[in-house]
Structure 1
Amino acid sequence: MNANGSSASLQMNAALPSEVYNYNGKLLSAQQRKKQAKHDAQLLANRIALLQKEEERAWRKIHQTKNRAQEILKLREDNEKRMEERMQAAMHANSIQQQLAEQNKVNEELARRNRAQQVERMFKEKKEKVQAVRQEKQLMRRELLGMRESDVVQNRRRREEVLAQEQQLREMRERERALKLEQNKKNYEEKVKNEHQESKAKEKEVEQLERVEMELIQKLKSTQLLQQNAYSELENALNEEH
């Protein structure tokens, strides 16, 4: 009967710490998840701020490019307007020269030369303006190409940074998971050790109580034997009187 009682007591003592361990494990797991969620939220906020900053920078470049294109178009329109005005002026001058030539044949050769010079200047200026516009277009193409190449490099760098951050996050989570498993293992081993020590202490206590019980039983038997002897002596004494 004492061995069965000791076994039941050991089973109850083994079950209760397991429930406490599970409860503490759930609390620790919830705290770790909360800490991890805060950390992940901070990393996401940093990446979102970085992406927003890059988007603002891209929009600034878009506005700068549009403004530059508008300046080039305005320059082209001004050049074309000036060339048109000069052509109109040249045409008007030619008309005047023709009238003067008709009125004064003496100045015909001079007028022809003047017209030829004006036309030559006009075409020369037009050629120079066309060349200037062409050079401006080439410069703009080079600038656009440079901006595209710069954007490609920056996008590649940002992708590499994001991938590096994700890799660091995975490694950090793996380390935290390993540390958590190691800590849980240590806690479990410590609880098993404590349970074993408590079980040994309880077994020693039971053994001591069993020894006390046996001593009391032996003492009771001795007392009962003495009592029986006393009854026998009393009975013999009574019988001798009759």
Structure 2
Amino acid sequence: MSEEIVDHSKFTEAKSLRKQAEEDAKLLANRIALLKAEETKALKKIEETRKKAMEILQSRQRLQEEQKRKEEMRLAKEQEEQLKLQELKNQKYTERQVKEQKKQDFKSKIYTEAQNIKQIQIENLEIIEQKRLEEIQSKIAAKQEIQRQKSRAEEKRKRMELEKKAQMKMELERKIEEENRIRREKEESVARMEQEELELIQRLQNTQLLQQSVFEDLEAAMGVTELRDS
């Protein structure tokens, strides 16, 4: 009678262990499902982040291109205005020179009226040639100054363009590093979850082995009892 009680107790314990193992399996399944859901959510978040970063980068690039186009138009307009202003200055200067020359010629004519006509012609030719050379030199100097302004503007534009490209490159490298860091963190997290899952599976297997062993012990005990009873 005492052995039957012991056998029943073992059976009850084995049944309890089986139920516990089943409950553990359900919990494990739930945890694994949660892990998978979290992983899916993380991957979706990464993809959304990458998409958002790409949209921001494209928008910024379009804005920079528009700013560059406006800056080029502004510089071209400034250069055109400077050229017109310089031409106007040269024209006024020439007009003043001509006017002044006329005055000088008139005064010279009155003053040198008694002088030799040939000498007057020679002097006038020298004055005209000198003025022509001055005008030529003035035009050359103006062209050179305009060219220098163009060169400075072009150098400034190239320098700004290089600086913008360098900044864009640094920002892109930072974003790439950030993406790699997030990826590494996610990979490490996945590795930990996989390890946890393996540990859960191993514990479940151990529990199943224990359950099987208990059932075998129970069956063996019940077999011995039946033999004794017979």
User: TM-score with structure 1 length normalisation?
Assistant: 0.60
Higher RCO, 1 vs 2 (CA within 8 Å, ≥6 residues apart): 2
| Counterpart position of 2:8 | none
Q: Which runs of 5+ in 2 are unaligned?
A: 1-17
Percent of pairs with identical residues: 13
1:178-234 Cα offsets, whole Å, 9 max, x none, are 31441243123222222123213312431343145235524643xxxxxxxxxxxxx
| Counterpart amino acid of residue 30 in structure 1 | T
Counterpart CA distance in 2 for 1:183 and 1:71 is 68
| Counterpart position of 1:44 | 54
| Counterpart position of 1:67 | 77
Counterpart CA distance in 2 for 1:145 and 1:70 is 14
Q: Would you say 1:138 and 2:134 are equivalent positions?
A: no
Counterpart CA distance in 2 for 1:31 and 1:55 is 36
Q: Would you say 1:147 and 2:159 are equivalent positions?
A: no
Pick one of 113, 126, 132 that aligns with 1:123. Answer: 132
Find the residue that maps to 1:106 and give its secondary structure.
coil
Counterpart CA distance in 2 for 1:54 and 1:186 is 48
Q: Which runs of 5+ in 1 are unaligned?
A: 1-8, 222-242
Counterpart CA distance in 2 for 1:64 and 1:183 is 58
RMSD over equivalenced CA pairs, Å: 4.4
| Counterpart amino acid of residue 206 in structure 1 | F
| Counterpart position of 1:239 | none
Counterpart CA distance in 2 for 1:95 and 1:144 is 43
Contact 1:76 1:133 in 2 (8 A): yes
Contact 2:79 2:150 in 1 (8 A): no
- Taking the TM superposition and a 5 Å limit, the aligned residue runs for 1:139-178 are 139-154=148-163, 156-158=165-167, 160-161=169-170, 164-165=173-174, 167-169=176-178, 171-172=180-181, 174-176=183-185, 178=187
Counterpart CA distance in 1 for 2:113 and 2:194 is 118
Q: How many residues align?
A: 208
| Counterpart position of 1:77 | 87
Give, in angstroms, the shift of residue 96 of structure 1.
6.9
User: TM-score with structure 2 length normalisation?
Assistant: 0.63
Pick one of 217, 221, 225 that aligns with 2:226. Answer: 217
Counterpart CA distance in 2 for 1:105 and 1:214 is 157
**Residues 180 and 37 from structure 1, CA distance in 2 versus in 1: closer, same or farther, beyond 3 angstroms?**
same
Contact 2:86 2:142 in 1 (8 A): yes
Contact 1:86 1:122 in 2 (8 A): no
Counterpart CA distance in 1 for 2:92 and 2:199 is 94
Structure number with greater Rg is 1
Q: Would you say 1:34 and 2:39 are equivalent positions?
A: no
